[in-house]
A and B are shown apart, each in its own frame.
Chain A
């Protein structure tokens, strides 16, 4: 547009809309306040919490998980039965006021064992999820962002970890560290983060060509800062979904190891061990031995998943209503 056109259009608007002088008034002090922010400024996480709180289903899930955590700590104390005490006279009793969840094939109280199992299963799930977040996200982020040769080498290492027979690693760890909860946790954490690394890498490959990453780079941000501040926050959705999948898969992996006799050792029990032990009991009609641990596994997974979905919606500014 030439300068001639501009003056012409100004003249036109002056002719069509003459503004009378009395429309102009000095600005009052109060109007000056209009620029002040009315809504208190909130941090990223506080904002997330405000969004999360609106989601009733997710809040229900969170409440359930908190209750479960409390019960895992105090549950076994609510009953006078011991976790490992066997009572061969009281075998396979149905739920009753004496044994709220019934007894198992060795006369042990299922109520106490369920809460004791909650401790072990939740511990395994949470440690595996932390390993996923710490190792998997950093590894996948670095691999995807660096690209080229680094990415190639790092992904080949992940493929090797995938390809190795996982049972060999577990059995070897059992030999080196001795059987026990710690060994199981180490084995599951050491092999479990690879899915997360691959997912984060896939997302980062896509994200790193966006303008905001190039902008951050041009301002002189280092690799660690770009991954932490630009890439990972934009991958939060898939990361959180993956974490909520890791918890159940770790709990099930432990159950699978129990299936092979490599899980938590008797007399202690995780939910996976309890479910495994009671699979044959269901044919004899002792449904409660399977029902209670399976119910709590399912409820816990359900709670983790709806909390994950709620968090995902709350963390992503695009999904906010």
Chain B
């Protein structure tokens, strides 16, 4: 196991290096620079020269590439070009805890409610409860989350004035964004669980468990659900990386100071250090989560061997 983990760790470093390199190539392949995409303000040519020299943008690309590699290894990307008073680490350090808190609650709500809906639907296959559960799940996928978010704000914050929105000051500010964000993943999980539960419930080992006289609760949770979880684990791994590191649209609509906006804003404004910093951060989180997914695969189904 230790050997496996060490091997995977080296592979993770390799993967992050490839992602960082491709990102570097892509972001320099796009025309534009941090200084000429600003909102209509023109900067004096000499000033641009000086700024480029300050951020090493006047160097040949291979040299810039080496500077970036060094900044990745030392976890120090320097200041943002567009917000020079803050370093990239500051931006991530302020934004990520907020996004993480929102993301964790979203995942907890989505996973628990998704599994519950899926299991109920599978157990009552083709009954009214199945159709009801699937209708709820499908409605969740059918409504784009920015529409749902707008409607929730309109109804619960503006009309009924039950819940506050805008900014991030406590639990009551979290309710609406978590609902808006969790509905989609909940629906995806519910549908995957339903379909794999239907397959698993027909297996012989479930019949054996029934023949042994085990309680239905034990059969569902210990024998069936464990085997039905595999497709869900696959999907949740990647969903989680996106949700935990912040979502652009929901954070924007609810004015949550998370880090979702940096992924989009940095690319639009060609803020190279922020692009690199957020990309490397995101891919690190993603790759660690995917590693856990593989470990959980082996644990859920011992027939899958880890090499």
Interface residue count for B (Cβ, 8 Å)? 62
In the complex, chain A residues whose CB is within 8 Å of the CB of B144: 252, 255, 272, 275, 294, 297
- Scoring B15, B29, B147, B233 by chain A CB atoms within 10 A of each residue's CB, the highest score goes to B147
- Complex Cα spacing A167 to B263, Å: 9
A82 within 8 A of B: no
- Complex Cα spacing A237 to B27, Å: 39
A237 and B195 contacting across the interface, CB-CB below 8 Å: yes
B301 and A165 contacting across the interface, CB-CB below 8 Å: no
Per-residue interface assignment for chain B, residues 288 to 307, with 1 indicating a CB less than 8 Å from any chain A CB and 0 otherwise: 00100000010001011001
In the complex, chain A residues whose CB is within 8 Å of the CB of B134: 305-306, 309
CB distance from A149 to the nearest CB of B (A): 9
Q: B residues bordering A, Cβ < 8 Å? A: 11, 14-16, 18-19, 22-23, 26-27, 29-31, 125-126, 131, 134-135, 138-139, 141-144, 146-147, 150-151, 154, 188, 191-192, 195-196, 198-199, 202, 230-231, 233-235, 238, 241, 249, 263-264, 267-268, 275, 278-279, 282-283, 286-287, 290, 297, 301, 303-304, 307
A301 and B199 contacting across the interface, CB-CB below 8 Å: no
Interface contacts (Cβ under 8 Å), in number, total 162
What is the interface of chain A mostly: helix, strand, loop, or mixed? helix
With A165-B279, A168-B27, A237-B195 given, can you name 19 additional A-B contacts, CB distance below 8 Å? A148-B307, A162-B290, A163-B16, A164-B279, A164-B283, A167-B267, A168-B275, A171-B267, A172-B26, A198-B235, A199-B234, A202-B230, A237-B196, A238-B192, A275-B146, A294-B144, A298-B143, A302-B142, A309-B195
User: Could you show 5 A-B contacts with beta carbons less than 8 Å apart?
Assistant: A198-B235, A248-B141, A260-B264, A300-B142, A309-B134
In the complex, chain A residues whose CB is within 8 Å of the CB of B290: 159, 162
What is the interface of chain B mostly: helix, strand, loop, or mixed? helix
A259 and B146 contacting across the interface, CB-CB below 8 Å: yes
CB distance from A187 to the nearest CB of B (A): 13
CB distance from B305 to the nearest CB of A (A): 9
A165 and B147 contacting across the interface, CB-CB below 8 Å: no
A318 and B30 contacting across the interface, CB-CB below 8 Å: no
